[in-house]
Structure 1
Amino acid sequence: MMGSHQQLNMAESSALKTQFAPFDNRQKIKGGRPWCDHCRKPGHSRETCWKIHGKPVDWKPRQPLEKEGRGNHVATDEQSPQPEASPFNKEQMEMLQKLLSPLLSVQSQTGSSSNQVIGSGTLAHKGNFLSAFTAGKKRKKPWIVDSGASDHMTGDATIFDTYSSCPNNLTVRIADGSLSKVAGTGSVVLSRDLTLNSVLLVPNLDCNLLSISKLTKEKRCITNFSSTHCEFQDLDSGKTIGNAEECSGLYILKERHDPQEQPQMTVGEFLAQEGIVHLSSCVDTPQQNGIAERKNRHLLEVARSLMFSMNVPKLFWGQAVLTAAYLINRMPSRVLKFQTPCQTLLKSFPTTRLISTVPPKIFGCSVFVHINQQHRSKLDPRSLKCIFLGYSSNQKGYKCYSPVTRKFYNSMDVTFFETQPYYPKNDIQGENSTQEYQFWDLESFSESPITTENHIPPESFNQPESIVDLWDKEHIQEETEERALSQQTHEAEPGPNPSKLPGNNAPDGTVDSELENDILNMPIAWRKGVRSCTQHPIGNFISYDKLSPTFRAFTSSITEIQVPQNIQEAFKYPKWKAAVDEEVRALEKNGTWEITDLPRGKKPVGCKWIFTVKYKADGNVDRYKARLVAKGFTQSYGIDYQETFAPVAKLNTVRVLLSLAANLDWSLHQLDVKNAFLNGDLEEEVYMDIPAGLETTSNFNKVCRLRKSLYGLKQSPRAWFERFTKVVKGYGFVQCQSDHTLFVKHFPEGKLAIIIVYVDDIILTGDHEEKIDLLKKLLTKEFEIKDLGNLKYFLGMEIARSKKGIAVSQRKYVLDLLNETGMLGCKPAETPMDTTVKLEESDGSAPVDKGRYQRLVGKLIYLSHTRPDIGFSVSVVSQFMNNPTEKHMTAVIRILRYLKMTPGKGLFFQRTTKKEIEIFSDADWAGSVTDRRSTSGYCSFVWGNLVTWRSKKQSVVARSSAEAEFRAMAQGICEGIWLNRLLEELRVPLKHPMVLYCDNQAAISIAKNPVHHDRTKHVEIDRHFIKEKIEEGVFKVSYTPTNCQTADILTKALARVNFEDLTEKLGMINIYNAA
């Protein structure tokens, strides 16, 4: 029965005598048994009474006994299973004994023995039963989860992986209060994920104890208890490293068997045992695997086509091959009589169910995966931008990957943009290419593994490493860092070598690598000899030849350097890590917070890191700036904030100051307040989560109690501005009423100094240089100020100054917008809006992605601060934010195409002889086909330079063109009154009255005389307002022909000739013109 003589010998050596005792004589041995004084029953003592301590962990119910007697046996294995009833009758048992007796005699003659117990067997004869069983390896005692144990303890010395002895005087107090000696300590490996360190060996201990306090401290995990089980979960990875089940009131750790620990049979042994002859192909002889190699070629050809068509990086080659297999299985084949492999499979196996039958989509395109409501808050985005990488193998859905979160998502709620690749195409691959941006937006995939998750994670997708661990990593070389910073702080895969493109005349077909990298890092117009396959390269529409060397270096710097998107990316580069370190030191120095426990009933706000680059006046990088920002959108009014209003500088005011500076030759200085919001005192009780990168074991499950205001809090701008206002007023400056962020100080000699502040960015100007320098020193004493020199870059606006005047543009903003939308290689348009197109809400076209439309229009609205030429078109497309359609999106694309034509166009403030305010007002009549409302437009000039403009649909329907023009005049006069009050506070000389130009004679007549009563009886308020200002001598209304009406560009779409003429009258120039 045992299979070998050695096994029989072991079974014989371990089988002991079976003792029979009649049932009637059982009570005779009672006198010698122990007695329990607690339950009054024999057979045990009080120390082992089940009524007090419960049943043992390994207790099992006893098998029912026969009435003939009881057979007792003892084996070397202490936990051998009970004998089971044999299915043999008496005659069969006697025959089996005869067969075994020769084998036993032969085994006894060999005399072989072994001290190592590999197995044990017992042959017991009890009445008519034969019980034969084997016990294998000695069974280990289970581990009991103990919340009262201070250390892991065991009494079994054989389970240690590493072990060291302890002094003899070391003891431990166990549950009954007695002291037991500790023989040694060591580590015990319970599973691949769970290793116990510093386990005490207590020989007198009869069980294994797992200390919860010790485990949670060492492994940085949490323990979740329920009525039936408990589990240990790692806090960093979220992985379950162990679990236990409840048994008799105790939690017993479940054993996790590792398949690698089991003895395995090699393939060769298995084939030899089964009598199978195994032949393999020769090395480097693929022709012997013809069918497999041909199918491999088929898969790779399809996979390469998928990747090349949408510029998918080689990192995703596996997903491309899986997608290729998916498509091949669903494409008709001539070999299969023009049936698909899936159809053939279904015909052969009708019960087969294909896992995925979703419609095919373009591999590598941009998609937006819907985020379920339980995984986002009300203000979070409702979708996540991903790249489409195929089809799920075990779910009916699409497989999408987010490079930001580095996770896969399987979902059917996906919005596809199949014509838009996620990664921009390079020069050789299509129209969306450009010479300037030849990088791929990768996120250093090779440095961290891709994790597959089927759920949308919470707001913080990745648990960051501690700041100490991240800073201790190997520093990247300076040269590598500078090159990586110019490529969006990502490890980009190299693009195609321009020298190897067809038609290149390089003699050897190669270009020196350093020269090639220098060319790719240069601005667009500086690259020579780099071919492009796009028909409309951006280099044809922008040039840097007219710039001075200093400003050319400045524009090159702000174009090349990009900022990281999260703290994980920032930690890869020493300069960004130093910026984070500087921010942390500033926060600690200022006493911004204190670490404490979260009080009951309080909810902490989150936080995130924001990164930016500050530049010097010469274009060189001043510093890399990291900012910790609180997520103030989670605050609740009346609980952790009260008043929040804080003014910021009006860009209209900034343009007025630029016009005065150009005419009066004022200097323009720029200051930056470091950690501005940290200077404000916080009155409310606000708690914040521990910032990413600052988590340690000491502050685990704790929060920050904010003592100072922090960026992102709703009340922080107000607290900072109140402090700044108090300081500046203490220096004798007066706060203007026309703009509360404007502070002016007039000196007896007739000179003045001006301060205007936008959050922490400050502009200083005026004609008193000594006082301006003194003001810088005073502000430096009160705040931590960084002097950025002459004004060059303010709120995304590039400011260039020469003897002729000041040019303001948003060139970099336009290029970034075109690159983001994939429009760098598009065909340009000469005007921002088609004159033949009339947009309406319900035009019958298909709807488009609402979020993308709103983001694009929002960016265009900000761009219009320096681009009045797109004012009307942006005003029109912004009217359809609620339900955009393809026709509306086409209008937005038209604006982007126009920006491609003139990316560097902007305002020009020049010295003029005019000392007055001029306003042009105009309106169309019933231009909106949706509600037949008119559009008002006005533009105002201060000292000959354009400073304010507006294009807005009127709030009511005008019954005549005169009425529409009349309402536009009222809006223009309101703007002029504000400008007049601003200049009066600056004490700037101004010629009166202000002039209002209009091209409608009827509207002018209504303003001057009470005529046309039937037309004006329902607009009495505007009529009296205009008449009052004219009679006071504040305004003078003059007629201007329609072809000279500058505001006409703000009320309707114009043809190219008229449009270019009016943009020139607005004072717009393009210093980057490539012509």
Structure 2
Amino acid sequence: MVELQCEFKVKCLRSDRGGEFLSTEFSKLLESEGIQRQLSIAYTPQQNGVVERKNRTVVEMAKAMLHDKGMPYFLWAEAVHTAVYILNRSLTKALDNMTPFEAYSGRKPGIGHLKVFGSLCYVHVPAERRQKLDAKSVQGVFVGYATCEKGYRVFDPSTKKLILSRDVVFDETKSWNWKETSENSVAMTYVPKQPDNGFEVTPHELTEVERSPSSPCIFSQAEEQENAIHEHADISQPYDHTPLKWRNINDILAQCNLCIVEPEKYEEAAQDKAWIKAMEEELPSDKQVIGVKWVFKTKLNLDGSVQKNKARLVAKGYVQKPSIDYNETFAPVARLDTIRTLIALAAQRSWKLFQLDVKSAFLNGILQEEVYVDQPEGFVINGKEDKVYKLYKALYGLKQAPRAWYGEIDSYFAKCGFEKSLSEATLYTKTRGEHDILIVSIYVDDIVYTGNNQEMLDEFKEDMKEKYEMSDLGLLHHFLGMGVIQTESSIFIHQKKYASALLDKFGLKECKSVSIPLVDTEKLSKEDGSGVADEEKYRKVVGSLLYLSATRPDVMYAASLLARYMHGPSNKHYGVAKRVLRYVKGTLDYGLHYMKGKKAVLVGFCDSDWGGSVDDSKSTSGYAFSFGSGVFSWASVKQNCVALSTAEAEYISAAEATTQAIWLRFVLEDFGELQAEATPLQCDNTSAISISKNPVFHQRTKHIDRRYHFIKDALQQGIVDLVYCPTKEQVADIFTKALPKDRFNYLRDKLGVVSAQSLKGSISV
């Protein structure tokens, strides 16, 4: 090649000791041509430094081009070919202001045709090769320059064919999205050079593409054009046993240019759709592998000390698809009203509350669907890194895990003779004889139980330990962020630790406390002209106050009022929220106190303000229920409609309280506390009582939504009894409006919200 093109005689050939250079045929060729051979010493690449360094330059350049456009590794040969093509047309220190191409051929190279490797491009399809409605071009990826023809090399990822054409339009700013390529073969086949006629677009034409000295063409242009009418088979076709001398030259070229690389690890295989499909074929066609990860958690005691360090393997359930990877996801949890009702009942009956914790509860749930997950990091089996696990039981993080666990525990309780409540799906009772009862409430993996028969309590604990891996936490001390203190005569629940953390979180640890959460003379509205507050921070404060109200009904109205301004809160709103936190600062050790009362009867209170909202003139309903001592169920809710009178507002409030009273009666009946008489519902508005019992004020009540007349039916059936109470004794008044200090403190005591230090025996929290 050198002798024919440059008229130079090759005198010496220096190389390493590669097998291709030591073969008998090659040695005879050198000998016949009179060429001296120099071989480098084994393991001494320094003796062949020029070639070794240039090889490093070419490879690094090819790698950079592949990574720049995110191209798969099977195109590495094309990248190397293009790198050599460009380097031969680039200036080098070895030559004085001259490129290797010019030094070799004697003429300057043209560079106007150079394009960005890996760019998106569009190859023109001549009219002779397409139907009338077919596309005039095909999309592909630019992978280099033809060496024996004046054209570009374009790889079509959809057909895995290599196209040689001069009629190409480029978009060098874009690249192919290899991750979404749906084809699964990496084979490349050749498509012939297209004719020069039939242009339908304005392509970039190569006016001069020189032959690369590093990639000489061994066939004449006439032979190439003659053989270019054939398309070639994909690598996935059977091996061709035709003798080599009878094969088409383009078939041989296709096999020579085909690069097959087998990945050595998953990261390499994951870059190629073909290998991904090969891995997926190991799974059912309609399933996918779900990733897993470790989650670490430090569990604390009530006093803030470390209870244990917990590591949990969870599934990345967010990639699951409904109706394919899971069907049902819902799993009920106990309402806080139910938990407080159980606590109030235990205090009334002098029962003890106990707690069990199911270790890794979700792992006990039996899956109904086929689910496959990766091997967990740190526990991958050597030699089987490409294997996956098929789950029999649920993992935390799976969409259906809570449902699977609930189905398991529900089935077990049914076998053990428990009866599930129709009013609370997480409440179970078991009776023995006429008087003995065992009550169990579950909240995911936390189980609270109580009863009047110690033998039944002990049997239940042992049965649970035998069935599941359990932690016996003894007496109930800490549940859902609430501290529970049980004495011989009472139960006290509080959230002192949480309240203290709130103050620290919002920078009010050292703030000055106030005696009441809200100023009774101050009204809030959406537009108060005080400027816009930090919405995210405001929402965090209000959300925290709502959670604090689980044991602090005295902040319920304030939290409910502030929650109305979650969108676009003002600086004034945020100032009021901080005032509520300052009130919390002065009442850190306050909580609800339950004790044995004179009579175990469900009693309710309902009240309403009238048009208290400045923005829309709607009223606020409030209710509270007790069972002998402190309240265990309460609410403060803005009404859905504008009331035309105080009587109407009170009537609506009474109807809302009635629905809660009916549900609480059902729950107490499940507890074995049947309410034989109608539940008294205390109301301080005689007109509202009259509307509920008599068809009076018809002209003023005909517009009231019929659903609120539900109370009349409940009264007639003897479920509730709406009775009058003086406004001074109306406990629910604290849930409807801001009150003066004396009035607020009086009703707070009536709720059963007291300081731990004020109790007999000075309970320590």
- SS of 1:862's equivalent in the other structure is helix
User: Does the 8 Å contact 1:224/1:230 carry over to 2?
Assistant: no
Counterpart-to-counterpart distance in 2, 1:620 and 1:705 = 39
Matched residue, 1:609: 295
Shift of 1:825: 0.6
User: Does the 8 Å contact 2:286/2:324 carry over to 1?
Assistant: no
User: Does the 8 Å contact 1:598/1:703 carry over to 2?
Assistant: no
Shift of 1:701: 9.3
Matched residue, 2:416: 731
Matched residue, 1:503: none
Of 755, 758, 761, 1:1070 maps to: 755
Counterpart-to-counterpart distance in 2, 1:910 and 1:1015 = 44
Matched residue, 1:821: 506
Matched residue, 1:897: 582
Of 471, 483, 505, 1:786 maps to: 471
Q: Does 1:623 align with 2:308?
A: yes
Of 708, 711, 729, 2:393 maps to: 708
RMSD: 4.1
Change (3 A) 1:228 1:733: closer
Q: Does 1:844 align with 2:529?
A: yes
User: Does the 8 Å contact 2:62/2:80 carry over to 1?
Assistant: no
Q: Does 1:981 align with 2:666?
A: yes
Matched residue, 1:1061: 746
Where do residues 471-486 of structure 1 align in structure 2 (5 Å cutoff)? Answer: none
For 2:437, the aligned partner's letter is: L
Of 492, 501, 509, 1:807 maps to: 492
Q: Does 1:911 align with 2:596?
A: yes
User: Does the 8 Å contact 1:946/1:1067 carry over to 2?
Assistant: yes
User: Does the 8 Å contact 1:228/1:245 carry over to 2?
Assistant: no
Shift of 1:722: 0.6
Of 303, 325, 332, 1:647 maps to: 332
Shift of 1:775: 1.5
Q: Does 1:946 align with 2:631?
A: yes
User: Does the 8 Å contact 1:904/1:1073 carry over to 2?
Assistant: no
Matched residue, 1:43: 9
User: Does the 8 Å contact 1:229/1:251 carry over to 2?
Assistant: no
For 2:326, the aligned partner's letter is: Y
Counterpart-to-counterpart distance in 1, 2:399 and 2:87 = 48
Matched residue, 1:247: 83
Matched residue, 2:563: 878
Q: Normalising by the residue count of structure 1, what TM-score does the alignment of the two structures yield?
A: 0.46
Shift of 1:624: 2.7
Counterpart-to-counterpart distance in 2, 1:611 and 1:1021 = 51
Counterpart-to-counterpart distance in 1, 2:613 and 2:377 = 50
For 1:1068, the aligned partner's letter is: V
User: Does the 8 Å contact 2:358/2:446 carry over to 1?
Assistant: yes
- SS of 2:466's equivalent in the other structure is helix
Where do residues 825-836 of structure 1 align in structure 2 (5 Å cutoff)? Answer: 825-836=510-521
Q: Does 1:959 align with 2:641?
A: no
Q: Does 1:1047 align with 2:735?
A: no
Shift of 1:639: 4.2
Change (3 A) 1:201 1:752: farther
- SS of 1:667's equivalent in the other structure is coil
Residue by residue over 1:665-705, the C-alpha shift from the partner in whole angstroms, topping out at 9 and shown as x without a partner, is: 22211111111111123344556677677789989899876
Where do residues 114-513 of structure 1 align in structure 2 (5 Å cutoff)? Answer: 173=19, 200-201=43-44, 207-208=51-52, 228=65, 247-248=83-84
Counterpart-to-counterpart distance in 2, 1:1071 and 1:929 = 37
Shift of 1:888: 1.0
Matched residue, 1:1007: 692
Counterpart-to-counterpart distance in 2, 1:836 and 1:954 = 22
Q: Normalising by the residue count of structure 2, what TM-score does the alignment of the two structures yield?
A: 0.64
Of 889, 908, 933, 2:618 maps to: 933
Identity %: 37
Matched residue, 2:31: none
- SS of 1:1052's equivalent in the other structure is coil
Shift of 1:1065: 0.2
Counterpart-to-counterpart distance in 1, 2:401 and 2:382 = 30
Matched residue, 1:1026: 711
Shift of 1:1024: 3.7
Residue by residue over 1:685-741, the C-alpha shift from the partner in whole angstroms, topping out at 9 and shown as x without a partner, is: 556677677789989899876553222332211111111111111111111111100
Counterpart-to-counterpart distance in 2, 1:1005 and 1:723 = 51
User: Does the 8 Å contact 1:598/1:702 carry over to 2?
Assistant: no
For 1:781, the aligned partner's letter is: E
For 1:658, the aligned partner's letter is: I
Residue by residue over 1:500-546, the C-alpha shift from the partner in whole angstroms, topping out at 9 and shown as x without a partner, is: xxxxxxxxxxxxxxxxxxxxxxxxxxxxxxxxxxxxxxxxxxxxxxx
Shift of 1:970: 0.5
Shift of 1:1003: 0.3
- SS of 2:677's equivalent in the other structure is strand
User: Does the 8 Å contact 2:62/2:83 carry over to 1?
Assistant: no
Counterpart-to-counterpart distance in 2, 1:989 and 1:939 = 20
Matched residue, 1:144: none
Change (3 A) 1:842 1:249: same
Of 314, 331, 347, 1:662 maps to: 347
Of 431, 439, 447, 1:754 maps to: 439
Shift of 1:902: 0.2
Counterpart-to-counterpart distance in 2, 1:818 and 1:696 = 48
Counterpart-to-counterpart distance in 1, 2:62 and 2:371 = 32
Of 762, 766, 770, 2:451 maps to: 766
- SS of 2:367's equivalent in the other structure is strand
- SS of 2:354's equivalent in the other structure is strand
Shift of 1:631: 4.9
User: Does the 8 Å contact 2:329/2:402 carry over to 1?
Assistant: yes
Shift of 1:792: 0.2
User: Does the 8 Å contact 2:518/2:580 carry over to 1?
Assistant: yes
Shift of 1:931: 0.5
Shift of 1:804: 2.9
- SS of 2:428's equivalent in the other structure is strand
Matched residue, 1:990: 675
For 1:933, the aligned partner's letter is: K
**Can you give the 5+ residue segments of structure 1 that lack an aligned partner in the other structure?**
1-32, 49-77, 79-140, 142-153, 156-171, 181-198, 213-221, 234-242, 253-593
- SS of 1:1010's equivalent in the other structure is coil
Residue by residue over 1:398-452, the C-alpha shift from the partner in whole angstroms, topping out at 9 and shown as x without a partner, is: xxxxxxxxxxxxxxxxxxxxxxxxxxxxxxxxxxxxxxxxxxxxxxxxxxxxxxx
Higher relative contact order, structure no. (Cα contacts within 8 Å, ≥ 6 residues apart) = 2
Shift of 1:1032: 1.5
Shift of 1:619: 9.4
Counterpart-to-counterpart distance in 1, 2:716 and 2:336 = 31
Change (3 A) 1:750 1:951: same
Change (3 A) 1:897 1:928: same
For 2:581, the aligned partner's letter is: L
Which has the higher mean CA deviation after the structures are superposed, 977-986 or 788-797?
A: 977-986
For 1:208, the aligned partner's letter is: E
- SS of 2:310's equivalent in the other structure is strand
Where do residues 7-18 of structure 1 align in structure 2 (5 Å cutoff)? Answer: none
For 1:1056, the aligned partner's letter is: K
Counterpart-to-counterpart distance in 2, 1:636 and 1:658 = 41
Counterpart-to-counterpart distance in 2, 1:659 and 1:245 = 82
Shift of 1:601: 9.7
Change (3 A) 1:1071 1:601: same
User: Does the 8 Å contact 1:993/1:1034 carry over to 2?
Assistant: yes
Shift of 1:945: 3.3
Shift of 1:851: 1.3
